[in-house]
Amino acid sequence: MPKFVFVTGGVVSSLGKGIAAASMGAILESRGLKVTIIKMDPYLNVDPGTMSPFQHGEVFVTEDGAETDLDLGHYERFIDAKTRKVNNFTTGQIYDTVLRKERRGEYLGKTVQVIPHITNEIQDFIMRGARVGTPDEVDVAIVEVGGTVGDIESLPFLEAIRQLSLRQGRTSSCFVHLTLVPFIKSAGELKTKPTQHSVQKLREIGISANLLLCRADRPIPDDEREKISLFSNVPYEAVISVADVDSIYRIPRMLWEQKVDEVICQTLALQAPAANLKVWDDLIDRLEHPQETVRVAMVGKYVDLTESYKSLTEALIHAGLHTRSRVQIEYIDSEQIDDQGPDMLQGFDAILVPGGFGKRGVEGKIKAIAFARQNKIPYLGICLGMQLAVVEYARHVAGLTKANSTEFDPSTPEPMIALITEWVGADGAVQSRSQASDLGGTMRLGAQRCQVKPGTRAHDIYGPEVYERHRHRYEVNNQLKDRVAKAGLVIASETPNESLVEMVELPASVHPWFMAVQFHPEFTSTPRKGHPLFESYIQAALAYKVARSGGTSQAGQQQGVAA
């Protein structure tokens, strides 16, 4: 039976429970343990796929095609093991499952109740997440409980983990509680009271914390840690100071230095070799010593909500780490480009159009892409950023002047991008609707293997095969794609069965670096390994920066900019 590390949060939300869980996972994995991380979300939506980015931030997509919480992205960036559908579940899913069982009569006429039926179902989901009874069963499952202790909606989850630890025995579970220790300016002091109350609240529910991760804007002095220990009944060495840092990738070392993994292993009676954080130390060294800075313009819709581009932002930072450069991302509102023209993109070393849904801001994105193409600025398009790159090329180079996506203009005469069920030719004739597959109208989700054409930049980067994750409905129209291909846009990769366009690029003779992909490469980038596509892109940005300044040194370029 796996061991469990339950991570709860107190006082306020947004303290970084996901990153704390992921960092503990990283340390335990470095001790040779097989780890997975599970997130339980207390909302009623069955999955976050239909939630607004304003509500939820990014929707992270797993290899097996689940639309999940963005914390799973953190998990995959910190630990080697991949997450799957079973790593994230919501109250909505639990109730859905229980209600279906009830309808099927599986409760044999009993009254169906929160306790035990909902709490049992939660425990079954946790076991499934830990791959219990399968060849993939883990040594340690870290289980993050969404929400904050004291919320009504997370109570069944807390009750379920209390029961689970009781059933599995004393050394089965380690309860980690993440709280805030605020610094009160007027008093000039860190205040421990909210933490004391939060730990008490947890105890009222029947859970005694084994480890406290105390978040503060500065290191917490030992006497304050002692005070927290005394009042919360958690041993002093298990009261951990988690101060603000400039990079989340410093957290594993910070926790390790305070022996968090030792406390966990002792609580769980686990024997494991010592931790080895060398890869993380290397990473921090790269972070601290960049040789260049590149500025990337990310042209999107949710510019005020950078959480909705979390994986993408991280992937660019990773690429910086692996090219010894600091990537400065500026989020630019595409509607502003539509109003004022693309001149504001001057001075950037690279342009990126990320994924997105809905019509707002689309024409501004197309203007940004045209600007990047015409001015030979490195361009990376992701998902919608690829669809619009194809539309831009169709309109301005291939002579399909009215080209559009049916997502934005359902009656466009040149549906360059459309649902598979809507594909028609430029003459307006609906051709072979029989080609329509199950994918039509539904979301294409998860990872798929595709061949990459030899002789393309995509092939230089990925080699013969690409295996990346998708989250989209619309596709490049197979009835029209020859038109853009004949006009010079290289289709570098297609899906094996339906020949759906996966990657496009411009040849090096025409543009130094112009690539766009239908999938989301950002989901597979990790700080330790980086990602070849993003690294190539940032390298191109570095080269462009040097070329633009006439090949001079960084100091020379800065003078040039000032002049």
**Residues taking part in catalysis:** 383, 520, 522
Residue type, 539: Q
In the region spanning residues 454 to 493, those forming contacts with ligand GLN, defined by CB under 6 A, are 471-474
The answer to whether 407 contacts ligand GLN (rule: CB under 6 A) is yes
Residue 406: CB minimum distance to ligand GLN, A = 10
Sequence-separated (6 or more) residues with CB below 8 Å from residue 218: 183, 190, 243, 244
330 Cα distance to chain centroid:
19
Per DSSP, the three-state class of 45 is coil
The answer to whether 361 contacts ligand GLN (rule: CB under 6 A) is no
Binning the chain into helix, strand and coil, the percentages to the nearest 5 are 40, 20, 35
Cα–Cα distance for residue pair 86/84, rounded to 1 Å: 5
Give the nearer residue to ligand GLN in terms of CB position, either 384 or 492. 384
| Window 227-266: contact mask with ligand GLN (x via CB under 6 A) | ----------------------------------------
Give the nearer residue to ligand GLN in terms of CB position, either 96 or 307. 307
Q: Which position's Cβ is nearest ligand GLN? A: 355
Give the nearer residue to ligand GLN in terms of CB position, either 224 or 407. 407
Give the nearer residue to ligand GLN in terms of CB position, either 5 or 390. 390
Nearest by Cα to 202 from 166, 162, 170, 143 = 162
Residue 390: CB minimum distance to ligand GLN, A = 12
Give the nearer residue to ligand GLN in terms of CB position, either 145 or 384. 384
Sequence-separated (6 or more) residues with CB below 8 Å from residue 20: 7, 176, 178, 213, 242, 251, 255
Give the nearer residue to ligand GLN in terms of CB position, either 370 or 419. 419
The answer to whether 458 and 503 have CB atoms below 8 angstroms apart is: yes
Pairing of strands 189-190, 183-184: antiparallel
Among the listed ranges 44-52, 264-272, 350-358, 483-491, the one in contact with ligand GLN (CB under 6 A) is 350-358
Give the nearer residue to ligand GLN in terms of CB position, either 359 or 433. 359
HSE of 427, CA atoms in CB hemisphere, 13 A: 3
In the region spanning residues 307 to 326, those forming contacts with ligand GLN, defined by CB under 6 A, are none
Sequence-separated (6 or more) residues with CB below 8 Å from residue 145: 6, 7, 8, 9, 40, 42, 154, 157, 158, 161
Sequence-separated (6 or more) residues with CB below 8 Å from residue 498: 420, 435, 437, 439, 478
Cis, peptide link before residue 521, omega less than 30° from 0: no
What is the DSSP secondary structure assignment for residue 261, as one 8-state letter? H
DSSP state letters, 181-201: --EETTTTEE--HHHHHHHHH
Residue 49: CB minimum distance to ligand GLN, A = 11
Give the nearer residue to ligand GLN in terms of CB position, either 97 or 435. 435
Residue 352: CB minimum distance to ligand GLN, A = 13
Residue 68: CB minimum distance to ligand GLN, A = 15
Burial class (CB in 10 A: 0-12, 13-18, 19+), 434: exposed
In the region spanning residues 174 to 233, those forming contacts with ligand GLN, defined by CB under 6 A, are none
Cα–Cα distance for residue pair 493/510, rounded to 1 Å: 19
Give the nearer residue to ligand GLN in terms of CB position, either 42 or 355. 355
Residue 357: CB minimum distance to ligand GLN, A = 4
The answer to whether 384 contacts ligand GLN (rule: CB under 6 A) is yes
| Window 504-533: contact mask with ligand GLN (x via CB under 6 A) | ------------------------------
Cα–Cα distance for residue pair 530/328, rounded to 1 Å: 17
Pick the binder of ligand GLN from 147, 300, 355, 364 (CB under 6 A).
355
Pick the binder of ligand GLN from 118, 251, 319, 383 (CB under 6 A).
383
Residue 255: CB minimum distance to ligand GLN, A = 34
Give the nearer residue to ligand GLN in terms of CB position, either 147 or 361. 361
Residue 507: CB minimum distance to ligand GLN, A = 25
| Window 415-454: contact mask with ligand GLN (x via CB under 6 A) | ----------------------------------------
Q: What is the 3-state secondary structure (H, E, C) of 98-164?
A: HHHHHHCCCCCCCCCCHHHHHHHHHHHHHHHHCCCCCCCCCCEEEEEECCCCCCCCCHHHHHHHHHH
Pairing of strands 444-452, 465-472: antiparallel
Give the nearer residue to ligand GLN in terms of CB position, either 9 or 48. 48
Tokens encoding 549:
């300044």
Residue 453: CB minimum distance to ligand GLN, A = 23
Per DSSP, the three-state class of 53 is helix
The answer to whether 465 and 450 have CB atoms below 8 angstroms apart is: yes
Residue 322: CB minimum distance to ligand GLN, A = 25
Residue 382: CB minimum distance to ligand GLN, A = 7
Among the listed ranges 112-120, 322-330, 352-360, 527-535, the one in contact with ligand GLN (CB under 6 A) is 352-360
The answer to whether 119 and 160 have CB atoms below 8 angstroms apart is: yes
Size, binding site for ligand GLN by CB under 6 A: 10
Tokens 């029209």 correspond to 480
The answer to whether 384 and 408 have CB atoms below 8 angstroms apart is: no
Tokens encoding 372:
């990047």
- Residues in touch with ligand GLN (CB under 6 A): 355-357, 383-384, 407, 471-474
